[in-house]
Structure 1
């Protein structure tokens, strides 16, 4: 009877085209035996190996009872079995418990559909790009999405400071054409500075001013629960995977022009969740009207102190102003692609927004008259010479009397 390796050898020789006589000569089996296996078409069947006993076998009924009671922690099972005389290892227990372990329980959460005009969610994202010199750099993107319509606004900035945040927030409201009731965000430092004793948030004063000016209520998502603002979390990921991939741009202004065009484009698409176009649902948002441009203008301006060499720093760039304003506090604002510098209601300088970070933009005639004034930014203490006839003529006795009084 052919078994195991013998049958495999015979089958291998047959596959090579050997005759029965040749196979018999090589294996030592008779031709009749080999012919019988060929005639019956028998194939190799592995012989079952005898199973060895496991050190865990005697304890499996105990483990079954513990698992029926809800104990699946292998470390605990291992420690308990050791007190009962178990001398095996942890791996045997893990291999035995694994098929019976129930799936990890996930906490189910209901889908929350936002009412029209009820809520906007906002957040920052960080994108990476390669500049013209081949260096890897990062750039932040502000994302705001309306909860009901899913209409989206994005804007790239050079930094995530409070002034950039207020500008982007204001631009987003202007883009949507109104104000939602609630703005939901996470605990970013540009929004909340800490908590009071009663765990209420300490809002950033500048952000609180904006919220009061436009009439919305800020709210924070639950700590360590990004699902609370899942719409904007998905929107940030969508920006990175859809807009940002293989994007080419020349500077920040060009990038934001492309970003705004992309926002209008995706508002025309059918949204995967709502099944409708965001631009159509935007009319149902019933947003509150925007405040007057004068109220919003203060959040688009920043106060800056002019350096002694006549520059103000704005959004990472130095912009020149007339040297006479050195040391003063001025107001800087961005209007389209221009940077304006104002002092006491007077516009003292206008620049095209610099496309480069850490750049220096000099103003034409910035230092005109500086050498004559000897660097003084205010009027110099001077006297004036007048003609002789204009000087009062007093007798010498008057001066003598004054000298006696002084003595």
Structure 2
């Protein structure tokens, strides 16, 4: 009967009347009317089992958490778990989940080219870096339109490091976006009890480079989801091969940039374009980088002792004796072990190469040594003169004969000799 019912529906769809269908099928009009009022049952399609079935919840959880996760890494994990199938069925399932996520992403906050970049830190815990155990971080900036990323590994997240990484990022991109989005990191925002205010140093930096600092709004479409998704992708696809290894920071950064060049050619599932294709459009609208860099270095007050030396990270370095007893300013470079010294007027005195912290060594330059000896001699003569003046002694020493001259006397007391 079901066969006749299906045929009746087919004939009706072709335009036959109820009477004509009854004649063709040899049934009464009443029977045909009853059949046409009923929906035919759908044929059951046999469900084929897949080798991936028992692993699908695991794969789906990984992809939904991070749609850009590396499929090859997922396949490796499945093989370790006992999966016997081919990589092709894994790729097909990942693609299906990514398309579903891409459809959901239509509600995500999208930006036009060069409108916004998003910044974040990744923390990798304590790692063996540059010969010793220390905390490792990665600064990440992602362009909102193209998803083009920049990564720089560091061993600090302080303000100077943050801003220095910004300079590296805008050089990498070749320009500056209209605004940069941050979370509530202290080096970006300060809460005064009522309002969030831009960190003073970041505000000055942003003014110099001509962008607007923006604070992301939690649980809103304008969050920094683009950089956060990239962070997960970066950890799972790049750093997983470096974790708990003996790391060299400069080499690690070179490897990261080389990896970025590789992934920039891959198609983004939600756009069917690569990062490079989208960035080639975006970079045309970026602002020009200023001709001079903003000085992001920290300012450290340093007192010049009686030996005409300053102490920095347990090591002593000589300066011209004219600064004895005064406070000068030191600004450490971020990428090299050097320290620039400035006088009270902000004029650069010199740049010194720094010994490793904790060495407890002294470094006296030849020119400073000669000047310091002369200053000591003058100081000894000055002290001797003062002592003799107090005792009202006669100046029998030939070295002090000239002191009888009043003009010479004033210069002597003023320290001009």
TM over 0.5: yes
SS at match of 1:210: helix
SS at match of 2:230: helix
Residues 227, 306 of structure 1: alpha-carbon distance in 2 compared, 3 angstrom cutoff: same
Aligned equivalent of 1:289: 288
SS at match of 1:264: helix
How many residue pairs match? The answer is: 275
Aligned partners of 1:339, 1:144: CA distance in 2, in Å?
27
Residues 157, 141 of structure 1: alpha-carbon distance in 2 compared, 3 angstrom cutoff: same
Residues 381, 282 of structure 1: alpha-carbon distance in 2 compared, 3 angstrom cutoff: farther
Residues 352, 194 of structure 1: alpha-carbon distance in 2 compared, 3 angstrom cutoff: same
Among 333, 348, 353, the alignment partner of 1:351 is 353
1:138-174 per-position Cα deviation (integer Å, ceiling 9, x unaligned): 3121111001111111112222111111111222112
1:193 aligns with 2:195: no
Aligned equivalent of 1:26: none
Residues 388, 290 of structure 1: alpha-carbon distance in 2 compared, 3 angstrom cutoff: closer
Aligned equivalent of 2:145: 148
1:265-299 per-position Cα deviation (integer Å, ceiling 9, x unaligned): 33333334333232332232210111122xx2322
Aligned equivalent of 1:310: 310
1:212 aligns with 2:214: no
Among 228, 233, 258, the alignment partner of 2:228 is 233
Return 5+ residue gaps in structure 1 as ranges: 1-106, 394-407
Q: TM-score, normalised by structure 2?
A: 0.55
Aligned partners of 2:157, 2:220: CA distance in 1, in Å?
22
SS at match of 2:152: strand
Aligned equivalent of 1:179: 176
Aligned partners of 1:159, 1:378: CA distance in 2, in Å?
46
Aligned equivalent of 1:328: 327
Residues 333, 275 of structure 1: alpha-carbon distance in 2 compared, 3 angstrom cutoff: farther
Return 5+ residue gaps in structure 2 as ranges: 1-103, 386-397, 407-417
Residues 156, 226 of structure 1: alpha-carbon distance in 2 compared, 3 angstrom cutoff: farther
Aligned equivalent of 1:339: 338
SS at match of 2:119: strand
Aligned partners of 2:157, 2:376: CA distance in 1, in Å?
35
SS at match of 2:150: strand
Aligned equivalent of 1:166: 163
CA RMSD of aligned residues (A): 4.1
Aligned partners of 1:225, 1:353: CA distance in 2, in Å?
49
Q: TM-score, normalised by structure 1?
A: 0.56
Aligned partners of 1:213, 1:377: CA distance in 2, in Å?
45
SS at match of 2:333: strand
After superposition, where does 1:7-406 map in structure 2 within 5 Å? 110-131=107-128, 137-195=134-192, 197=194, 199=195, 201-223=196-218, 228-247=223-242, 248-285=245-282, 286-293=285-292, 296-299=293-296, 301-306=297-302, 310-312=310-312, 321-324=317-320, 328-334=327-333, 337=336, 339-344=338-343, 345-346=347-348, 348-351=350-353, 360=359, 364-365=363-364, 373=372, 380=379, 382-383=381-382, 386=399, 391=404
Aligned partners of 2:252, 2:203: CA distance in 1, in Å?
30
Larger radius of gyration: 1
